[in-house]
Amino acid sequence: MGNRRACIIGGGMSQWGVREASLVDMTQEAGKACMEDVPGLTPKDIDGFLFASSYAGRCSFQTNTAPVMAERLGLKPTSICARVDVLCAGGSTGILLAKGLVESGMADIVMVAGGEKLYTPQKWEVFYSELASIDHDWDAPHGLGLPPPYFALTAKEHMRRYSTTKEHLAAVSVTNYNYGLNNPKGQFHKQLTMEEAMAAPLVVDPLTLYDCCPITDGAAAVIIALEDRAKDLTDRPLVYIRGGAQVSLHSVSANWPGEHLADWAHLRKAAEKAYATAKVSPQEIDVAQTHDCFTISEIIEVEELGFCKKGEGGDFVAAGEINLGGKVPINTDGGLLSCGHPFGATGIRMGMEIMRQLQGRAANQVPGATIGLTHNLSGLNVEHTIVVYGREPLP
């Protein structure tokens, strides 16, 4: 890699929610917000473009989306122009790929964008399309398209083995909804109380309404630039992409890699590899964005990422360790629960929030944060993706 180092220098997102807009519209909104975040940058500076989207083929009847989006954004990429499909981790995957492209010398400045248009003209198609998210011939025929039942099983297992309670789950939703209050681009702006979270209507036992992230339309974009170019383009502190990992050990639910559903062996492996490549330990992470598709996910993630011991995730979140002032503030922009989850855009939103935290300009700022992490799980918990960011490059 020589001295070529990749930095994340700017980002922006469209309004997220139930949008009166197409995927192409929202991608333009996000691209504009992103380019305006780096005032010195013009479209012609960008030589690479990656677009993370999983449902464009299904919900917009559009494959090969990268040239479509690049054209609408005024980009004329000369190093790479491609779509990335890793469902919920598409955005983070794009960022890891951009790091590789920049550090290998293939590209200098890459825009990583992503988005989904999930609300279709008929409501039945919205939910029906989700059957495409999982191993089609082996899990979809069991009606596992929408993930709540799978994560409900996971929550039951965690509750039984580790005495995790409904209050622990609610501590995650209350924290993340309240972080989301000052994120104007997020889907919800709701002051959620513990009482409301505890009294919410049932989705799949033990998960209730605020335990589950919503279905969301939206797009986001970030700029990954070579360190030398980044110094010319921005006066802000540089944020380096220090390392990361993406681990996939199975696809069909029968081949689950852990001892039980609350044992996420694939995430442990991803964490081990990501910390090794970034040369950091879990204790050095100042701020994190972890994949809170369900409250139980965040509880298991803080365990497997090494922020607390296995089985103590419930106590960790309930003790306020994920809040500002806690051990590792998590999902400081609202997370999936409050911002929503347009799959391909989510990892980009997370990367953008960590960038802002490390530049000292986040809405819910963690004072003096220098090392941050993003984490995504994909689909029916079949893949884990981690990106580690730092104010300092790798030693």
Which residue among the candidates 7, 59, 88, 308 is catalytic per the annotation? 88
The answer to whether residue 142 forms part of the interface with other proteins (CB under 8 A) is: yes
Distance separating alpha carbons of residues 172 and 71, to the nearest angstrom? 40
Distance separating alpha carbons of residues 242 and 371, to the nearest angstrom? 9
| DSSP at 268 | H
The answer to whether residue 256 forms part of the interface with other proteins (CB under 8 A) is: yes
Radius of gyration of the chain measured on its C-alpha atoms = 19
Residues 328, 302 contacting (CB under 8 angstroms): yes
The answer to whether residue 144 forms part of the interface with other proteins (CB under 8 A) is: yes
Which lies closer to other proteins via its Cβ, residue 149 or residue 306? 149
Which lies closer to other proteins via its Cβ, residue 37 or residue 130? 130
Q: How far is the CB of 248 from other proteins (least distance, A)?
A: 14
The answer to whether residue 368 forms part of the interface with other proteins (CB under 8 A) is: no
The answer to whether residue 358 forms part of the interface with other proteins (CB under 8 A) is: no
Which residue among the candidates 291, 341, 375, 384 is catalytic per the annotation? 341
Please identify which residue in 152, 172, 308, 373 interacts with other proteins, judged by CB under 8 A. 152
Q: How are strands ordered across the β-sheet holding 48-52?
A: 80-84, 48-52, 109-116, 218-226, 6-13, 239-247, 383-390, 371-378, 287-289
Residue type, 102: V
The answer to whether residue 150 forms part of the interface with other proteins (CB under 8 A) is: yes
Q: How far is the CB of 206 from other proteins (least distance, A)?
A: 9
- Exposed / middle / buried, residue 143 (Cβ in 10 Å: 0-12, 13-18, 19+): exposed
Residue with tokens 């994920």: 322
Residues 289, 353 contacting (CB under 8 angstroms): yes
Please identify which residue in 141, 182, 189, 199 interacts with other proteins, judged by CB under 8 A. 141
Q: What share of the chain is helix, strand, coil (3-state, %, to 5)?
A: 40, 20, 40
Which lies closer to other proteins via its Cβ, residue 156 or residue 168? 156
Please identify which residue in 74, 148, 257, 393 interacts with other proteins, judged by CB under 8 A. 148
Q: How far is the CB of 343 from other proteins (least distance, A)?
A: 18
The answer to whether residue 49 forms part of the interface with other proteins (CB under 8 A) is: no
The answer to whether residue 173 forms part of the interface with other proteins (CB under 8 A) is: no
Please identify which residue in 203, 220, 223, 302 interacts with other proteins, judged by CB under 8 A. 203
Of 311, 342, 315, nearest to 326 by C-alpha is 315
CA 270 vs CA 134, 246, 335, 386: distances in Å: 21, 6, 20, 7
Report the residue count for the chain: 395
Of 63, 64, 33, 67, nearest to 49 by C-alpha is 67
The answer to whether residue 157 forms part of the interface with other proteins (CB under 8 A) is: yes
**Stretch near other proteins under the rule CB under 8 A, chosen from 79-87, 248-256, 278-286, 318-326:** 248-256
* DSSP code per residue over 7-71: EEEEEEE---BS-SS-HHHHHHHHHHHHHHTSTT--GGG--EEEEE-SSHHHHS---SHHHHHHH
Residues 221, 228 contacting (CB under 8 angstroms): no
Which lies closer to other proteins via its Cβ, residue 258 or residue 320? 258
The answer to whether residue 255 forms part of the interface with other proteins (CB under 8 A) is: yes
Question: Residue 308 catalytic?
Answer: no
Distance separating alpha carbons of residues 190 and 96, to the nearest angstrom? 33
Which lies closer to other proteins via its Cβ, residue 35 or residue 59? 59
Question: Residue 168 catalytic?
Answer: no
The answer to whether residue 259 forms part of the interface with other proteins (CB under 8 A) is: no
**Stretch near other proteins under the rule CB under 8 A, chosen from 90-98, 139-147, 328-336, 346-354:** 139-147
Binding mask 94-133 for other proteins (x = CB under 8 A): ------------------------------x--xx-xx--
Residues recognised as catalytic: 88, 341
User: Interface with other proteins by CB under 8 A: which residues?
Assistant: 124, 127-128, 130-131, 136-146, 148-150, 152-153, 156-157, 160, 202-205, 252-256, 260-261
